[in-house]
């Protein structure tokens, strides 16, 4: 299993990978740049390449996460251009760090016709993909429905990927909290959820997982992460989810709260307990 956690790049990419390993993880997620801005970052390429080498040496897998203001559903024009340039910058950094890809939320559209929102998402993705030739993937994440009731079903995720000019550069990131809050997964029906995703062609492109329990109930459409087994989803649904073969070989990272005495190192041990693996 490639369990891990979201880690800070305050001291650089190599240091982030070292922190991830010190937590007992085999994967991690990081923000390639300031998470509150779409401003282009000039990366320290030597640091990024040192991170990639360290990950190869220690068998670590990583994913990057786009800054919060990244919205694929923006209308064409100046604002979309800023999003596109930021995404290309994120992909470039992720590639240099040896990461699987860049996680990006499905998108938030507040206009009147939802079809325009989907067209915008595909349009933004295509602008990025037509200019990207690296190996890092764009990983579209399912949403909770908190800001817009979009991106909550396998149909939408697979549909958008299929409309992309270079679908081979697009994969998926499955967030367990969002899946629960949006109604995609009720905690007791993982087997059916998996069958549905398989029939739609979702799981063959699943490349990363966000492991989060949910503070709010099923179909609450609220995005508040809780520690695994300590939220509304609870232990047993995670036990069944983690037994899925689709979770085995891809980065599965925690985006959960850290408290004194219960940090990500403890929570990774807890994940191993739930999978019956012991500490590793």
Which residues form the interface with Zn ion (CB under 5 A)? 175, 210
Taking the least distance from each CB to Zn ion, the nearer of 161 and 210 is: 210
- Strand segments, DSSP code E, in 95-157 are 101-105, 137-141
Min separation Cβ 212 and Zn ion, Å: 6
Taking the least distance from each CB to Zn ion, the nearer of 151 and 237 is: 151
100 Cβ partners below 8 Å, 6+ apart?
Answer: 61, 62, 63, 94, 136, 137, 139, 171, 207, 208, 250, 251
Min separation Cβ 177 and Zn ion, Å: 7
Label residue 84 exposed, middle or buried (CB < 10 Å: 0-12, 13-18, 19+).
buried
Taking the least distance from each CB to Zn ion, the nearer of 193 and 253 is: 253
SS3 51: helix
Query: Are 68 and 39 a contacting pair, CB within 8 Å?
Result: no
SS3 80: helix
Taking the least distance from each CB to Zn ion, the nearer of 5 and 43 is: 5
Taking the least distance from each CB to Zn ion, the nearer of 44 and 255 is: 255
Taking the least distance from each CB to Zn ion, the nearer of 45 and 68 is: 68
Nearest-angstrom CA–CA distance, 236 and 170: 31
Residue 54 structure tokens: 């360290």
Q: How many residues in the chain?
A: 280
Nearest-angstrom CA–CA distance, 241 and 84: 34
Min separation Cβ 2 and Zn ion, Å: 16
Min separation Cβ 185 and Zn ion, Å: 14
Across-strand partners of 206?
172
Min separation Cβ 130 and Zn ion, Å: 27
Min separation Cβ 252 and Zn ion, Å: 11
Nearest-angstrom CA–CA distance, 231 and 219: 14
């Amino acid at each position: 299993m490639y369990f891990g956690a979201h880690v800070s790049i305050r001291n650089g990419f190599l240091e982030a990978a070292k922190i991830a390993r010190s937590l007992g993880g085999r994967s991690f997620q990081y923000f390639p740049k300031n998470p509150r801005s779409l401003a282009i970052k000039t990366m320290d390429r030597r640091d990024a390449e040192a991170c990639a080498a360290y990950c190869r040496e220690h068998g670590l897998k990583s994913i990057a996460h786009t800054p919060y203001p990244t919205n694929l559903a923006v209308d064409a024009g100046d604002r979309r251009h800023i999003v596109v340039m930021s995404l290309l910058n994120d992909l470039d950094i992720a590639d240099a760090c040896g990461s699987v890809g860049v996680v990006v939320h499905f998108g938030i559209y507040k206009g009147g016709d939802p079809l325009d929102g989907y067209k915008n998402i595909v349009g933004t993705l295509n602008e990025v993909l037509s200019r990207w030739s690296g190996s890092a993937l764009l990983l579209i994440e399912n949403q909770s429905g908190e800001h817009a009731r979009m991106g909550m079903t396998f149909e939408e995720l697979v549909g958008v990927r299929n409309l992309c000019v270079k679908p081979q550069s697009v994969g998926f990131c499955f967030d367990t909290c969002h899946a629960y809050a949006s109604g995609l997964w009720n905690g007791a029906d993982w087997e059916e959820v998996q069958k549905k995703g398989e029939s739609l062609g979702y799981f063959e492109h699943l490349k990363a997982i966000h492991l989060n329990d949910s503070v709010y109930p099923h179909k609450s459409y609220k995005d508040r992460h809780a520690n695994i087994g300590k939220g509304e989803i609870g232990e047993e649904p995670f036990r069944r989810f983690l037994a899925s073969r689709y979770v085995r070989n891809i980065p599965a990272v925690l985006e959960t709260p850290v408290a004194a005495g219960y940090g990500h190192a403890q929570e990774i041990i807890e994940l191993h307990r739930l999978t019956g693996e012991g500490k590793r």
